[in-house]
């Protein structure tokens, strides 16, 4: 699959942009694990042009994580154009426009998925951003605003006509948020539309290598984006690569999974500070499948998610490793 001149190879699987998740460390780990393309956290156009430090930091790119896309969102064409130019200066391989974020504080103000209620403005912003930068521009969006307005099969060709080089579709409406089941049938219908000449990338409910293979074969998409399925489980990209190439995969050893989580904790602390770094990483610890189904784990889980120091979390890791996996998880680390 190619996005303009960027060749991602056949059937690429990518890391979706996620706020408070796809920081530089996590992106790099996912790239090392096999993600063909990674995306930054959402970057607010308004905050970027006001030079808000917490926003401008999101533009930092490590060359080792390439190819990487910066994703911006906003509701005003002028602000989006200015933000696009600022983002381009950071040197991403692609610039992505977020027309899919469903959270109230974004969508209710007309940005993200809120733009699905104002298609003329969405198209105007897209065309303006495409014309403002020299790097390829892509779009990530949803099926529509609600069940009665699933417009993606009409919207896709219109966005293509604005000059974008790929489109990613999350198989839910804004009203669904992240509930219910993603509708891949409509994504497949968009891909099958003879008008579509750019890559169509599918997103939603992809949590296993088997689901990746099935989505490619059933719906014919050009690429697949994994979001929540990668939180606390960046090794999913390694498993997907194995499965797609050989039809089977060997899960990485428990010790290596612990080592990956240790690395995330360490690098989160190094990037921010110990207290805020621990807070940031809790979402990954809460979501990781490594601890799913462990018997009598509730108290340990609570203690882990309440821990406020690296030493405390690593001590708990060691206890978990000995109790549930018969392994010394504190002695292993990785810089993969």
Residue 327 reports pLDDT greater than 80: no
Q: Please check whether residue 205 is in contact with residue 226, taking contact to mean a CB–CB distance below 8 angstroms.
A: no
Model confidence pLDDT, tens digit, residues 169-205: 999 999 999 999 999 999 999 999 999 999 999 999 9
Residues 34-84 pLDDT 10s: 999 999 999 999 999 999 999 999 999 999 999 999 999 999 999 999 999
d(CA 241, CA 247): 10
Residue 70 in tokens: 């910066």
With a threshold of 0.95, does the pTM exceed it?
no
Sorted by sequence, the CB contacts under 8 Å of residue 179 that are 6+ apart come out as 172
Cα(136)–Cα(94) distance, integer angstroms: 5
Other CB atoms within 10 Å distance of the CB of residue 326:
8
Question: Is 80 exceeded by the pLDDT of residue 332?
Answer: no
Tell me, yes or no, if 329 is annotated catalytic: no
Smallest CA-to-CA distance from 170 within 190, 143, 146, 133 is with 143
Q: pLDDT at residue 329 above 60?
A: no
Which pLDDT value is given to residue 334? 41
Give dist(CA 111, CA 93) in Å, integer. Answer: 23
Mean pLDDT of 151-172: 98
Rounded Cα gap, residues 241 and 311, in angstroms: 34
Torsion of CA 239, 176, 116, 48, to 10 degrees: -60
Q: Where are the beta strands (DSSP E) in the chain?
A: 2-3, 6-7, 13-15, 38-44, 68-73, 94-99, 137-142, 167-170, 200-203, 223-226
State both tokens at 174: 């804004």
Would you say 320 and 246 are in contact if contact means Cβ atoms under 8 Å apart?
Answer: no
Residue with tokens 């979501």: 287
CA 237 distance to own-chain centroid: 12
CB 70 within 8 A of CB 59: yes
Q: Express the helix, strand and coil content of the chain in percent, nearest 5 each.
A: 50, 15, 35
Residue 335 has pLDDT above 50, yes or no: no
pLDDT at 333: 46
Strands 137-142 and 2-3 come out as: unpaired
Check pLDDT > 50 for residue 331: no
pLDDT digits 0-9 by tens, 90-147: 999 999 999 999 998 899 889 999 999 999 999 999 999 999 999 999 999 999 999 9
> Taking the mean position of all CA atoms in its chain, how far away is CA 153?
23
The closest alpha carbon to 334, from 238, 281, 259, belongs to 259
CA-based torsion, 116, 89, 7, 71: positive or negative? negative
């Amino acid at each position: 699959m190619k996005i303009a001149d960027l060749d991602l190879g056949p059937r690429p699987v990518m890391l979706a942009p996620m706020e408070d998740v796809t920081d530089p460390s996590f992106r790099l780990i996912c790239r090392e694990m096999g993600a063909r393309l990674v995306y930054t956290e959402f970057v607010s156009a308004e905050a970027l042009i006001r030079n808000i430090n917490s926003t401008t930091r999101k533009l930092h790119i490590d060359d080792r994580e390439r190819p990487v896309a910066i994703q911006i969102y906003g509701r005003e064409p002028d602000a989006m154009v200015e933000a696009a130019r600022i983002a381009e200066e950071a040197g991403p391989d692609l610039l992505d426009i977020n027309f899919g974020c469903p959270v109230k504080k974004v969508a209710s103000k007309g940005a993200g998925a809120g733009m699905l209620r104002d298609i003329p403005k969405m198209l105007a912003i897209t065309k303006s951003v495409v014309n403002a930068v020299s790097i390829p521009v892509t779009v990530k969006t949803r099926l529509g605003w609600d069940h009665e307005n699933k417009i993606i099969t009409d919207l896709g060709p219109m966005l293509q006509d604005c000059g974008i080089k790929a489109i990613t579709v999350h198989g839910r409406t804004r009203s669904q948020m992240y509930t219910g089941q993603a509708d891949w049938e409509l994504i497949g219908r968009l891909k099958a539309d003879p008008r579509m000449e750019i890559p169509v990338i599918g997103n939603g409910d992809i949590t296993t290598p088997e689901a990746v293979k099935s989505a490619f074969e059933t719906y014919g998409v050009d690429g697949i984006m994994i979001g929540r399925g990668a939180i606390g489980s960046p090794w999913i990209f390694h498993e997907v690569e194995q499965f797609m190439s050989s039809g089977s995969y060997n899960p990485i050893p428990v010790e290596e999974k612990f080592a990956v989580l240790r690395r995330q904790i360490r690098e989160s602390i190094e990037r921010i500070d110990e207290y805020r770094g621990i807070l940031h990483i809790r979402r990954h610890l809460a979501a990781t499948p490594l601890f799913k189904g462990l018997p009598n784990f509730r108290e340990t889980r609570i203690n882990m998610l309440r821990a406020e120091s690296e030493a405390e979390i690593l001590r708990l890791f060691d206890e978990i490793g000995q109790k549930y996996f018969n392994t010394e998880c504190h002695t292993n680390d990785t810089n993969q």
